Structure 1
Amino acid sequence: MKHRGRHRRQKRGRALRGALAGTALALTAAATIVSASQAVSSDNPGALKSVTSAAQLANFQLTEDQASKSSLDRLATSMGGTVGVSTVLDHTNRTMRNTAECAPTEAEALPVAPTATRAYCWDDADSTSQRWLPQSVTTSGDADEDGRWGANRVILSGWTHNDAKPDEPEVSRGLARVAVIDANDLSSMTYRWVLLVVPTEDGSDYRGLASSVSGMVWYQDKLLVTASPTDTDHKSLYVYDMNRIQRASVDSPAVGKVSGGWSAHGYGYVMPAVASYSLTGGTCDPAADDHTPCFGSLSLDRTSTPDSLVASESFPAGADQRSRLWRYSFSGAGDRSGLLAADPLGRVNAVEAYSTKATGIQGVLSYRSAGDEKADWYVGHTPGAKDRHGTLWRLDADNAKAALCGPDDESRHCWGTRAESLSYWEATGEVWSLTERAADKQNGWRGPAIPERVLYAVPLSEITGSLR
């Protein structure tokens, strides 16, 4: 069990902030300031409107389902036991490129303002892969207050198989993987892939997750990820145990038990889900306005009491539906580490929810400053057109303010190009995000890839300072 002494956390937090400030990258590549003519007023999400109706709040209710320990242990035993995050870090096999090594198109995908103080590009094989799409990020800053998991600083990034790419083999469709990144040395980060899987009820086999990981939060020893509306088991969230990583023994495209052992689509490690949450009212339909939410982005709010999971809906820019934001409390029970607060029947209720006027939300964050009665909500907005930076908004009950990169209120397209989820690292004061694309010149998936994928961090203080 981790030691959680307050003195140790504060001392390490001060040291870490000093180290990070001293090694901040000077990013010189930035996109040209977007002109006012490119602004689209309809992207303004407006002020938050609280959802107070009991009937409407009931739409967000979840039901928890935990896998039996005996079935999980059976699977682990048959695969040779479990390993932890440190084992994966000891065997990283890919290297993040620092800013100076990024391609011009990658650097141009970074935020215009506020500028990133850290930025990294992926290994060459992943930066141009059109088979996979990076969509979510969480860190050991979410996992524990001191920003470490054990002795390590770690970043996790969730990638989803690109099922829109033509001629992909059926065995690859819907797969999801997590990059486990060694962030102990921020000037030389390495990573390794772990495949997310779902075990059978009896623990005799497993299948691929078959869902988009558009949202992901690492809290205590659990990793919560979003499930797609098309999930075969009709789940909304899956839960993984960071202490239950297991080794594959056969290198093949298959997923699951095969002749001679266990396969993970060519990856060396898998994580089997240990629990899941489904919407009590049934599976969401993103094409229907039936009030059943479709999970988009996730993040952790440590400034709430208790700590909470915040979520957003994600509809394409210009869609008829408008996105809602909501939160669930995490459990404080000692035998429910990393799980949401549930009643004796396993039901999890949203503790608050808001409606917005937004579409195209790709990232959500909630943070309450000391002394404030209410939290501010941050959302990233992705425009519908190609080659345009997104917008980062801060919302409260009174209005919405955008991070600007020009002298007027229309120069708001300043955030990363096709940026995805948001994650706040409390010990460093930084908001982490990542961009997604490596499409071709036609914004499709047939021609040579144009790399635009970056993992970056921006101080929250810089974000708030740029809001107007």
Structure 2
Amino acid sequence: MWTVPRSQWTAVAALALAVALLPLPAHAAEAADLRFTPERADRSLLDALDAALPNTSVSALLDGANRTGHACDAPVAALAASFCWNDADAATPGWMPQGVTTSADATGTPDYDGRETMIVSWYDTADGGATDKGVRLSFVDLTDPTAPRYRHVLLAEPVWRDGEATFEPVRVHAGGIAWYGDRLYVVDTWNGVRVFGLDHLWRVGADLPGAFGRQDDGTFQGRGYSYVLAQTAMYRHTATGDAPELRLSFISVDRGPEDALLLGEYADSPGAARLARLPLAADGLPREGEDGVARADGVWTPGLATAQGAVAVGDRFLLSVSDGDGDRDGGELAVWRPGEAPVVGFDVLPQGPESFSYWPSRDRVWSASEPPGRRYVYAFSPPS
């Protein structure tokens, strides 16, 4: 392996034959052994909450964005764009950014609901014993990328409690998110993929930071946040045959010949880390067989440990790789074509790179970095 200087990013592909890291063979299990069984939310429960709570749109949410980021230069090779969060979000140890997706994922065009938009997921670390709020999403208006305005929204799982419709926090790592149509997919590491409906984006009370869901007086609270986004389904993951279940660490939209979700897992061992593709049906949900179960239609083992995100770009996969060597300054980018050795560029991403999202019309890959004080949201031009 080698370090690719940022000034020599275009030389990465030419050095493919020199790479010492070899891809490991794919797991013997068939892709169809990776199963996802839908569990849909109770329609009457969603209807009751829709009736009780004001529903809003993404554009209206962004009209009321209450935070502003600022331009900054992310330490990224082939940098195309970048911004930083406001001071509080950039420094907090209580929330960790993870997944990234954009309106280009959602629609295949630059905008959704008339806006070029990004969504970034954060999980609550409950640092210092604070109440665990679960997962928040930053909806970012990219109209002015030098001063992006954004607003946080909490994820909510609708439930019946004592005969009343309410909701609970969604306590997952949210290592990856993927926006497709009016749905947001969020990986739940050991359980499957959760689905949230942007047609159930509810305004709630923000005056009681310690309260969430329906209160005794019939009002609804969001632990200090004014909006929650409702879960509408869960695709429960299991595996058959000899296939181990996926450790669902990240996800992205793959707009290849057939639209699909690209799923990936973080692993310390290169041979244990797989990518799997879950095809989508015309309604934007995972395509189910006659038995009502959705199945992967492709699975690969790139031979890379500690991957944090991946996207499909043409005939290749791009993966972000976290650096376990404390002496290094940045994260790694791997370019991998099935059947070939991965090509790795060292220190070409910020420290703590997270998941990827590809914007085809601009040929850009968006990502975010995690460490407090070194948090960038950035786009780069992918190497060939």
- TM exceeds 0.5? yes
Question: Is 1:275 the counterpart of 2:233 in the alignment?
Answer: yes
Q: Which stretches in structure 2 are left out of the alignment for 5+ residues?
A: 9-18
Q: How far apart, in 1, do the equivalents of 2:84 and 2:276 lie?
A: 32
Q: Over residues 341-384 of structure 1, what are the superposed CA-to-partner deviations in whole Å (9 max), with x where a residue is unaligned?
A: 1124321110000123221001111122xxxxxx3111111111
Question: Is 1:383 the counterpart of 2:359 in the alignment?
Answer: no
| SS at structure 2 position matched to 1:417 | coil
* Equivalent residues of 1:363, 1:421 under 8 A apart: yes
Aligned match of 1:300: 253
Aligned match of 1:77: 51
* Equivalent residues of 1:256, 1:264 under 8 A apart: yes
Q: How far apart, in 1, do the equivalents of 2:194 and 2:339 lie?
A: 34
Aligned match of 2:341: 400
RMSD: 2.5
Could you say which structure has the higher strand fraction? 2
Q: How far apart, in 2, do the equivalents of 1:245 and 1:290 lie?
A: 37
Q: How far apart, in 2, do the equivalents of 1:205 and 1:45 lie?
A: 51
Aligned match of 1:16: none
Q: How far apart, in 2, do the equivalents of 1:84 and 1:250 lie?
A: 18
Change (3 A) 1:48 1:354: farther
Change (3 A) 1:82 1:255: same
Aligned match of 1:453: 375
Shift of 1:199: 0.8
Aligned match of 1:255: 212
Aligned match of 2:22: 46
Give the length in aligned residue pairs.
365
Equivalent positions of 1:106-255 (< 5 A) are 107=73, 110-111=75-76, 114-163=77-126, 165=127, 167-169=128-130, 171-172=131-132, 175-200=134-159, 204-229=165-190, 235-252=191-208, 253-255=210-212
Equivalent positions of 1:12-91 (< 5 A) are 46-47=22-23, 49-51=25-27, 53-54=29-30, 57-79=31-53, 81-91=54-64
% identical aligned pairs: 25
Q: How far apart, in 2, do the equivalents of 1:344 and 1:398 lie?
A: 33
Q: How far apart, in 1, do the equivalents of 2:306 and 2:228 lie?
A: 32
Q: Could you tell me which amino acid in structure 2 is paired with residue 69 of structure 1?
A: R
User: Which of 95, 98, 108 is residue 71 of structure 2 equivalent to?
Assistant: 98
* Equivalent residues of 2:336, 2:342 under 8 A apart: yes
* Equivalent residues of 2:302, 2:338 under 8 A apart: no
| SS at structure 2 position matched to 1:135 | strand
Q: How far apart, in 1, do the equivalents of 2:7 and 2:125 lie?
A: 30
| SS at structure 2 position matched to 1:204 | strand
Q: Over residues 404-460 of structure 1, what are the superposed CA-to-partner deviations in whole Å (9 max), with x where a residue is unaligned?
A: 4xxxxxxx332221100000011211100110001xxxxxxxxxxxx0000000122
Change (3 A) 1:453 1:65: same
Shift of 1:132: 0.3
Q: How far apart, in 1, do the equivalents of 2:20 and 2:377 lie?
A: 25
Q: Which stretches in structure 1 are left out of the alignment for 5+ residues?
A: 1-29, 34-42, 100-106, 230-234, 283-288, 369-374, 405-411, 439-450
* Equivalent residues of 1:181, 1:191 under 8 A apart: yes
TM-score (norm 2): 0.88
